[in-house]
A and B are shown apart, each in its own frame.
Chain A
Amino acid sequence: MSAGNAVLDVRDLAVAYETRRGRVTAVDGIDIRIEPGEAVALVGETGSGKTTAALASIGLLPRGAVRLRGSVQLGAQDITGWSPRRLERILGRDVGLVPQDPTASLDPLKTVGWQIGEVLRIHGERDRARIAREVEGLLERVGLADTARIARSYPHELSGGQRQRVLIAGAIALRPGLIVADESTSALDVTVQRTVLDLLDDLRREDRSGLLFVTHDLAVAAERADRIIVLEGGIVQDAGDVRAVLGGAGGHRAAPYTQRLIANAPALRPARFREAPPTRDEPAAITVAGLGKVFPGHRGRPDVRALEGVSFAVAPGTTHAIVGESGSGKSTVARIALGFETATAGTVRVAGTDVPGAGGRGLRGADLRRFRRSVQLVYQSPYASLNPSLSIVDTVAEPLRRFGGLSRRAARRAAGELLERVALAPALHDRRPRELSGGQRQRVAIARALAPRPDVLVLDEPVSALDVTVQAQILALLDDLQREYGLTYLFISHDLAVVRQISDTVTVLAHGRVEETGTTRDVFERPQSAYTVALLDAIPVPSITVGDQSLPPADPATIGASA
């Protein structure tokens, strides 16, 4: 076990941030050891210190951060306490960093070829022709076709997946012994995420380099990593072989926090479909037939066909999920169902009201009010959908006053009751949104949507901005509310694992067309279209089985009770 073998050996590293209130410890004693060809995942939720830990372990400290103790050995070199200037020599050569956001990390004014070549130039390569050849070779290596054209492209001309590959090409340009990937695939569609992860795996095997990847997604870690480190509040909760930590192999008993994470990660659970709420013998709550939407092209550009011939029906009191990747048109369906966009073809009937489509006049007056009251929306981002200058009780009181005609006082009282129903204690009611966490804000948004007692709730990616434990609580709450009020949900999501857990029926959309529609069980177990199969394959499948061991049951009811 000589330290010289490992590509990275971090011992007892602790990092703190200097703040107005004094030092706040962000990482409190972490050990990371990566052997050549090994992948180590650093897992944690928002604010767990995982990114700080990863950056500090290659010598990089974010602004305002200080190293409290610990040592960092990179390959044969001890880089503990190196100045940023001194680190420049090893960054890129010995360590490649793949940042989180491919859009923010590329210079929009330079071709991507120039940007990859920069790594070579910084480390001493001068021959232009050789740089150009090298860059094309790298682009080919990360699986991009037509490399000459891509090298000449600017970042905005590439897709998200292509940009992420470009960043990886830059990171591996000098064949570093260690690659650090900071949430490198979190912003990508599942199918793209899968190919990028495959690429990182291949590169690691070929070059025998080590991979340290930071992720919030336990399923990705379980599928890809050899070893895993679970961080919470800067403290290592669990560390070791993936099979041991997540699967309980070798008699390992996971820490309570890890157990909670596992219980809350839908993709890690054995596929289990939800028990449908009792269906009622009533006409469908939502009927969509032959829906089409064309956005006229601007300045001579061709029209964009966002939707074409989309049809489905949702029984009252059930959940229908619309699944698709970015650009599939799933949000457009939601916005048409809410009357925020008008369709260019087809008919939509929601909660007994015909939503005006092609050629029809918009709803007005009392009809519009009745429609707005019967269909409510919960947005993806609880940060953007709440008025920052209103207290949350006033936010929830607004629809009660507008639709229910309640006085200000009565509306505030009723709003308080609703907020308590979504588990927000009275002490929080007078706070502004910025004084709440993401999960709490989403509860406010749900309470506001419930206030007019709607029949249909449209949920546009309601949990994708939230950490897994919070996500599980919100999903459990939605499930409770559906049973209590007999609500019909139209659930828009890109996350198939979540959809599997919450929906009764599913429509799979791709490029504005329905690929497949049916009950969740049928679509997941017997997918008919090739696209659905590809989508399902992209769900990270951990090589280990969880759920066999003595984990707390991942039952929505028990999770809901703790929230």
Chain B
Amino acid sequence: MTALATAPLLGDLADAEGSAATPGSPGSSASPASEPAPRRLRRVRLSPTLLLSSAALLVVVAWAVAPALFSPFSPYAQVAGALQAPSLAHPFGTDSVGRDQLARVIFGARESLLGAALAVSVGLVVGVLLGAVAASLGGVADAVVMRIVDVLLAIPGLLLALTVVVLLGTGTANAALAVGVGSIAGFARLTRSEVVQVRRTEYVEAAYGSGGTFLSVLFGHILPNSLRPVLALLALQFGGAILALSTLGFLGYGVTPPDPEWGMIIAQGRNLLGAAWWVTALPGLVLLVVVLATNRISQVIGSSASGARR
């Protein structure tokens, strides 16, 4: 009813305002610079690799949410002989004490994903805040924050994570925290560079003119327009965090056995690589696929972010 009533009015307006507003008019393609294409995000092409990546991540998330649905076996129970090669009953084979490897990978997904989520949350929240504050305040605050970030960046991520774990003690949460601390610097730096660009725009000045306070402008105008590339980094860091957590697990700083965790599962098989390759290789393959999938998705977010800005 409302749509019907306003339709002619709309038509009049588009007509009066010149052809630039009319979609599909010859002009809209003749001068792409003056008429940015609407809704660029929706035009992301669904390439096969993107579909595969999304599917892989969905499966792993489903494992983490309801592992029992996907595996008839318990990850703790001995269900068959030790070190059985992959078969129909046990597609990933069994480990040195006869537990089903697939069950351990499926149940381990929760540990890995939760840990990675916690890690990137720490990095995201602290990093974005630091970057946004540094960029908005400028001057001394900016210099101090960014030099700290430089120091963090100078220390190799794994070394930093190991230091934090040693200080805090082992365990899932601590390992996740450690990995998160390692990713703060990247988030801070990216956020700062984005905010510095956005805060000089006219619409930010106009927001102050509209009575905005420092915080309301920061959260209402600056951050929403700066965060698209940060989201791309988030996806990338998620994959990185899974990998880093697995590394910590591999080194024995993660969960306590016998809880399943991907890094530890891989570590346990490394002495048997010659005799039973599947104990290490198949969980490793899952890890590889997940990390590649997050990379691919990050790439898509990143390119659509830069596309939206052009």
Contacts and interface: CB of A to CB of B under 8 A. Distances in A.
Contacts of B207: 387, 398
Nearest to A448: B210
Given A234-B27, A562-B16, 13 more contacts: A27-B26, A47-B30, A47-B35, A233-B26, A372-B209, A381-B202, A385-B203, A386-B203, A424-B13, A437-B18, A439-B17, A440-B17, A469-B18
B131 to A, nearest CB: 19
A17 B209 contact: no
B31 interface: yes
B29 A26 contact: yes
Interface in B7-58: 7, 9-10, 13-14, 16-21, 24-31, 34-36, 38
Interface string A420-459: 0001111110000011111110000100100110000000
B211 A379 contact: no
Q: Name the residue in B20, B29, B212, B225 with the highest tally of chain A Cβ atoms < 10 Å from its Cβ.
A: B29
Given A379-B206, A451-B210, A46 B26 contact: no
Contacts of A48: 19, 27
17 contacts: A24-B29, A46-B18, A46-B34, A47-B18, A48-B27, A49-B30, A233-B26, A377-B209, A384-B201, A388-B225, A389-B224, A402-B210, A424-B13, A426-B2, A437-B14, A440-B13, A470-B17
B24 A438 contact: no
Interface residues of B, number: 42
A465 to B, nearest CB: 9
Contact of A399 (B29, B31, B201, B210): B210
Given A45-B19, A234-B26, A425 B10 contact: yes
Contacts of A234: 26-27
Given A384-B201, A437-B18, A377 B206 contact: yes
A254 B273 CA distance: 88
B205 interface: yes
Nearest to A375: B209
A250 B41 CA distance: 55
Contacts of A448: 206, 210
B26 A24 contact: yes
B216 interface: yes
Among A338, A369, A448, residue most surrounded by chain B Cβ atoms (within 10 Å): A448
A338 B209 contact: yes
A385 B202 contact: yes
Interface string A461-502: 000000101100100000000000000000000000000000
A17 B210 CA distance: 42
Given A47-B18, A47-B20, A563-B16, A402 B26 contact: no
B87 interface: no
A389 B225 contact: yes
Central interface residue in B17, B28, B225, by most chain A CB within 10 Å: B17
Contacts of A340: 205
B276 to A, nearest CB: 53
Contacts of B3: 427
B6 interface: yes
A33 interface: no
B34 A438 contact: yes
Nearest to B40: A434
The 8 closest A-B pairs by CB, nearest first: A47-B27, A402-B211, A437-B21, A399-B210, A385-B202, A26-B26, A17-B29, A427-B6
Contact of B36 (A17, A24, A434): A434
A51 B27 CA distance: 11
Interface string B196-219: 000001110111111110001000
Nearest to A468: B18
B90 interface: no
A272 interface: no
Contacts of B208: 372
A552 B212 CA distance: 45
Contacts of B25: 24, 47, 233
A388 B220 CA distance: 12
A387 B225 contact: yes
Interface residues of A, number: 62
Nearest to A460: B202
A232 interface: yes
Interface of A: 17, 19, 21, 24-28, 45-49, 51-52, 64, 232-234, 338, 340, 369, 372-373, 376-377, 379, 381, 384-390, 398-399, 402-403, 423-428, 434-440, 445, 448, 451-452, 467, 469-470, 473, 562-563
Contact of A438 (B20, B30, B216, B224): B20
B29 to A, nearest CB: 4
A26 B24 CA distance: 11
Nearest to A379: B202
Contact of B209 (A376, A434, A562): A376
A424 B21 CA distance: 13
B39 to A, nearest CB: 8
Contacts of A469: 16, 18
A26 B16 CA distance: 20
A381 B7 CA distance: 28
Interface in B204-243: 205-212, 216, 220-221, 224-225
Given A372-B209, A381-B202, A398-B212, A470 B18 contact: yes
B6 A49 contact: no
A387 B221 contact: yes
B29 A233 contact: no
B46 to A, nearest CB: 15
Contact of B16 (A17, A47, A64, A473): A473
B80 to A, nearest CB: 56
Nearest to A339: B209
Contacts of A232: 19
B18 A439 contact: yes
A390 B216 CA distance: 14
B18 A440 contact: no
B29 A402 contact: no
Contacts of B206: 377, 379, 385-386, 445, 448
A369 B211 contact: yes
Contacts of A423: 13
A467 B210 contact: no
B203 A428 contact: no
Contacts of B212: 398, 402
A424 B202 CA distance: 22
Contacts of B34: 46-47, 438
B31 A46 contact: yes
B308 to A, nearest CB: 9
Contacts of A402: 210-212, 216
Given A52-B30, A448-B206, A427 B10 contact: yes
Nearest to A28: B26
B13 A372 contact: no
Contacts of A452: 210-211
